[in-house]
A and B are shown apart, each in its own frame.
Chain A
Amino acid sequence: MATRGIRDRVAIVGMGCTRFGEHWDKGVDDLLIEAAGEAFGSAGVAKDDVDAFWLGTMGSGISGLTLSRPLRLDYKPVTRIENMCATGSEAFRNACYAVASGAIDIAMAIGAEKLKDSGTSGLVIPSQPSDGTAPELTAPALFSLLAPAYEQKYGVSAEELKGVLSRIAWKNHRNGSLNSRAQFRHEVDMETIAHSPIVAGQLGIFDCSGVSDGAAAAVIVRAEDAYRYTDKPIFVKALSFVAGPATGTADPGYDYTTFPEVVRAGHNAYLEAGVEDPRAELAMAEVHDCFTPTELVLYEDLGFSERGNGWKEALAGVFDLDGELPVNPDGGLKAFGHPIGASGLRMLFECWLQLRGEAPPERTIKSIGAGRKLALTHNLGGAPGECVSFVSIVGSEPTS
């Protein structure tokens, strides 16, 4: 599988991102107005300058009216997109393709989700009428299925793995404590994480990402136009997306220690971007740490670690803010929560800040100073064995 891609044909010239959290005082309209306004301002464009919009939201509204009504857009095309947890990234991918096609000059990708109005614990995915045979287990339970399988395959004890998972949560909370936009802005000590109340399987409450509201937006133009808007555009190197055949839940050959969809999406993205050794070439990665075992498996699926080695490298600090390849320097889903439609664009926002040298000094990653110029974002929607996955690679310089 491979796509030709649109390397260096489009660039991000402005971004906006709200604070993520429990916005009891804001509706989805407010979040959209805030993120879009910040992105317009960042790019130095007026809303009427934008030719078309792609809105990602899983459940906070249907149709383009969800955006055009609050912003009072002037008869512009607005496409509403849903692709589970990759929804925000899908809005971005489709907006980029529209600009690359030449059909429009300026596009906005915007994602938003208002989860805290539901009144339920955890995420509730709207479901179709069914025969009632699928077990209605929750997302933490679905992803906790990874833990015993990983332990079994690599001979890691449950206690050892708990230490690894706790360290991943600790790292992301620590990064989030340095981020004014994060939902949770406090460090949490490893003991508290390791002994938090159990939600599902081996996962405690601190192994789970939070439930929050938020929105983020990007303004996209053709690469040759980018420097008209900013002297530090971020170029799109790769956009890769796959929907798996969902055979893992039916095929005993699947061992619950990998997401084949992520491996495929990652491989394709590296081809599009011309990346040969992601561990050595990427400055940073924003990955979909919905639950701590997910992040562990992603290290291996995205080629940051050898198979069976991710847990050791997590413990060694390879993915810390000051590590060799910082993962989730903004705090990730762990510190931001996961307003579905917004997450993919929130990840891009951190790439935007770090690659442009605009992250606050205490959160600035060292790998940039070492000359690395590429950043990766990744989303995963669904569950082990049946998911969709997105990988993008962006960079601060066009390929020479």
Chain B
Amino acid sequence: MNSGIVAYGVYLPYWRLARQSIADALEMPASRGTRSVASYDEDTTTMAVEAGRITLAGAPEGTSPAELVLATTAPAYLDKTNAVAVHAALGLERSCSAFDMNGALRSGSAALRYAARAVGPALAVLSDLRNGLPGGADEREGGDGAAAFLFGSGPGVIVEEVAYASATAEFLDRWKLPGEAAAHLWEERFGEYIYLPLAEEAIAAAFKQAGVTTADIDHVVVTGSHTRAVRAVQRSTWIRPGALADDLTGVVGNTGTAHQGIVLASVLDIAAPGAVILAVTLADGAEAAILRVTEAILAYRRRRHPSDTVSAKIAGGRTDLAYARFLTWKDQVRREPPRRPEPAPPAAPPAARHESWKFGFTASRCEVCGTRLVPPGRVCIACGSTDQMTEERLANVPGVVATFSVDRLAFTPNPPMVVAVIDFDGGGRLRCELTDVDPQAVGIGDRVAMTFRKGSTSQGIHNYFWKARPTRGKE
């Protein structure tokens, strides 16, 4: 069994919707704050990949996951395992298993429990898109994002679990039939009534196991599916007011299965070695975990890129997303398509043959002359040598725009399509789409990084591949 967390990472999409823009459009009462919004080319699988990449980038030397588990309420596919695409895009070993825990909001806790108790390094990825009907609370208060935690053992452990307790009960609070666009909720005062004692039971049990009291807790994270009940727990006497962490619903929104991970990560970004954390999550019951931060957190922070903290991810967002574009991305507005054929979906055999390229973004380098080939090839473009290539993963290699265009005719869910020719640091060139970009602001020489995205969905097939996005600030 693993002894704790050795690395973690949060991915928040670039876009935020100001809640006031909903109020303005639908002539509703004023509303404060923002929610995070996955772009048109993101889904729970792509966000899981991004959170996983950040996590693995900070993992201790030689710690590679033997297991991967993905939790979401918004799986990109049913029947087909979505964690497998995440596995491929992270370039994990074939021997590493990959499983989904889909459907319920409580699956986030399940994935964390699974990875924490696994034998050998295990990566739990929590990724969610939270949507509702226009004008509703779920649309306004939901959020999109992902968090990942790598569990392992040894000196690299940065967070140890001290205690864990659960309380479970059957009641009708929030539910959705398969295929429904929005959830149903019972009257919210009922939820508060039923969740509060469950939370108290779990917290009491965890405190008892750990032999701690409210006064011993340095940081408290309370998240959950029921806003009113979460507020009630946050105000309860079990919690020292100064210890309560911002639950980020004001700026990010409630990101479903991912949310406990995102808020915990924001605490881990700042907690001192030795700090004790109480993490409470409400979803069809209550989970309470007591965690202790180790000395290794200091070395971990030095190892991580400064742009990978939750506060940096929040600060890096863009808040001027128009509500009409948000509705389009969320499939609530159906726009006239261009008079162009829909893109053909990828065919299964070539996609499988090119898995390490399409998902792993693995190029090749000529062993004879050192030229890098993007996409990978068998014949060197420089010296002509055949089949003398070494694989080279490029997902984390930045590049620069050599030339570009804005295509107003191409079929894309988010016109216009912005395309660029990217020259990678260390060699290699690729013509690809740009995303999270202002079409007016692209220029030759712009620095870009690669990001895993969904190109289009056609004939029921998601076409995943990598795009470039402008790097910003200190990235």
Q: Show the binding face of A for B, using Cβ within 8 Å.
A: 119-122, 124, 127, 129-133, 135-138, 140-142, 144-146, 148-149, 152, 198-201, 245, 247, 249-252, 254-256, 385
Contacts of A200 on B, CB cut-off 8 Å? 405-409
18 additional A-B residue pairs with CB within 8 Å, beyond A121-B338, A124-B340, A132-B358: A129-B349, A131-B351, A132-B343, A132-B346, A132-B347, A133-B354, A133-B375, A140-B407, A141-B419, A145-B419, A146-B403, A149-B403, A152-B403, A247-B381, A249-B431, A250-B428, A251-B382, A252-B428
Would B381 and A250 count as touching, CB distance under 8 A?
A: yes
Would A252 and B402 count as touching, CB distance under 8 A?
A: yes
Q: Show the binding face of B for A, using Cβ within 8 Å.
A: 338-341, 343-347, 349-351, 353-354, 357-358, 373-375, 377, 381-382, 402-411, 417, 419, 421, 423, 427-433, 443-444, 455, 463, 465
Query: When chains A and B are docked, how far (Å) is the Cα of A119 from the Cα of B341?
Result: 9
Residue of A nearest to B420 (CB): A145
Q: Say yes or no: A250-B373 contact (C-beta < 8 A), given A145-B404, A149-B444.
A: yes
Query: When chains A and B are docked, how far (Å) is the Cα of A138 from the Cα of B406?
Result: 10
Would A250 and B374 count as touching, CB distance under 8 A?
A: yes
Contacts of B421 on A, CB cut-off 8 Å? 145, 249, 256, 385
A247 to chain B, nearest CB (A): 4
Contacts of B465 on A, CB cut-off 8 Å? 132-133
Contacts of B349 on A, CB cut-off 8 Å? 129
Would A131 and B353 count as touching, CB distance under 8 A?
A: yes
B397 to chain A, nearest CB (A): 13
B452 to chain A, nearest CB (A): 12
26 contacts between A and B (CB under 8 A): A121-B409, A122-B409, A127-B344, A130-B346, A131-B358, A133-B357, A135-B417, A135-B455, A136-B343, A137-B407, A144-B405, A145-B421, A148-B444, A198-B406, A198-B408, A200-B408, A250-B375, A250-B428, A250-B429, A251-B429, A252-B423, A252-B428, A255-B402, A256-B402, A256-B421, A385-B431
Partner of B357, one of A120, A131, A144, A149: A131
Query: When chains A and B are docked, how far (Å) is the Cα of A146 from the Cα of B404?
Result: 9
Contacts of A130 on B, CB cut-off 8 Å? 344, 346-347, 350
A299 to chain B, nearest CB (A): 19
B89 to chain A, nearest CB (A): 13
Query: When chains A and B are docked, how far (Å) is the Cα of A136 from the Cα of B412?
Result: 9
Partner of B381, one of A122, A149, A245: A245
Would A121 and B444 count as touching, CB distance under 8 A?
A: no
Q: Say yes or no: A251-B405 contact (C-beta < 8 A), given A131-B353, A133-B375.
A: no
Query: When chains A and B are docked, how far (Å) is the Cα of A198 from the Cα of B455?
Result: 23
Residue of B nearest to A200 (CB): B407
Residue of A nearest to B422 (CB): A252
Residue of B nearest to A152 (CB): B444
Number of A-B contacts (CB under 8 A): 133
Partner of A149, one of B345, B402, B409: B402
Residue of A nearest to B373 (CB): A250
Residue of B nearest to A254 (CB): B429
B297 to chain A, nearest CB (A): 39
Contacts of A127 on B, CB cut-off 8 Å? 344
Contacts of B402 on A, CB cut-off 8 Å? 149, 252, 255-256
Would A251 and B381 count as touching, CB distance under 8 A?
A: yes
Query: When chains A and B are docked, how far (Å) is the Cα of A133 from the Cα of B373?
Result: 15
Would B339 and A121 count as touching, CB distance under 8 A?
A: yes
Contacts of B373 on A, CB cut-off 8 Å? 250
Residue of A nearest to B432 (CB): A135
B2 to chain A, nearest CB (A): 36
Contacts of A245 on B, CB cut-off 8 Å? 381
Interface centre among A119, A141, A199 (most CB of B within 10 A): A141
Would A136 and B357 count as touching, CB distance under 8 A?
A: no
B265 to chain A, nearest CB (A): 32
Query: When chains A and B are docked, how far (Å) is the Cα of A130 from the Cα of B428?
Result: 22
Partner of A132, one of B374, B409, B463: B463
Query: When chains A and B are docked, how far (Å) is the Cα of A135 from the Cα of B420?
Result: 10
Query: When chains A and B are docked, how far (Å) is the Cα of A256 from the Cα of B405?
Result: 12
B438 to chain A, nearest CB (A): 15
B379 to chain A, nearest CB (A): 9
Contacts of B423 on A, CB cut-off 8 Å? 252
Would B429 and A199 count as touching, CB distance under 8 A?
A: no
Contacts of B406 on A, CB cut-off 8 Å? 141, 198, 200-201
Would A138 and B375 count as touching, CB distance under 8 A?
A: no
Would B350 and A129 count as touching, CB distance under 8 A?
A: yes
Would A249 and B429 count as touching, CB distance under 8 A?
A: yes
Contacts of B353 on A, CB cut-off 8 Å? 131
Query: When chains A and B are docked, how far (Å) is the Cα of A249 from the Cα of B374?
Result: 9
B458 to chain A, nearest CB (A): 9
Residue of A nearest to B347 (CB): A129
Query: When chains A and B are docked, how far (Å) is the Cα of A135 from the Cα of B419?
Result: 8
Contacts of B374 on A, CB cut-off 8 Å? 250
Query: When chains A and B are docked, how far (Å) is the Cα of A345 from the Cα of B47?
Result: 52
Query: When chains A and B are docked, how far (Å) is the Cα of A127 from the Cα of B346?
Result: 11
Contacts of B410 on A, CB cut-off 8 Å? 136-138, 141
Contacts of B357 on A, CB cut-off 8 Å? 131, 133
Contacts of A251 on B, CB cut-off 8 Å? 381-382, 429
B441 to chain A, nearest CB (A): 13
Would B340 and A121 count as touching, CB distance under 8 A?
A: yes
Q: Say yes or no: A119-B339 contact (C-beta < 8 A), given A137-B419, A145-B404.
A: yes
Interface centre among A140, A144, A146, A251 (most CB of B within 10 A): A251
Query: When chains A and B are docked, how far (Å) is the Cα of A122 from the Cα of B341?
Result: 11
A338 to chain B, nearest CB (A): 15
B449 to chain A, nearest CB (A): 17
Contacts of A250 on B, CB cut-off 8 Å? 373-375, 377, 381, 428-430
Query: When chains A and B are docked, how far (Å) is the Cα of A121 from the Cα of B374?
Result: 31
Query: When chains A and B are docked, how far (Å) is the Cα of A138 from the Cα of B346?
Result: 18
Interface centre among B377, B431, B432 (most CB of A within 10 A): B431
A148 to chain B, nearest CB (A): 5
Contacts of B428 on A, CB cut-off 8 Å? 250, 252
Would A131 and B409 count as touching, CB distance under 8 A?
A: no
Contacts of A132 on B, CB cut-off 8 Å? 343-347, 351, 358, 455, 463, 465
B371 to chain A, nearest CB (A): 8
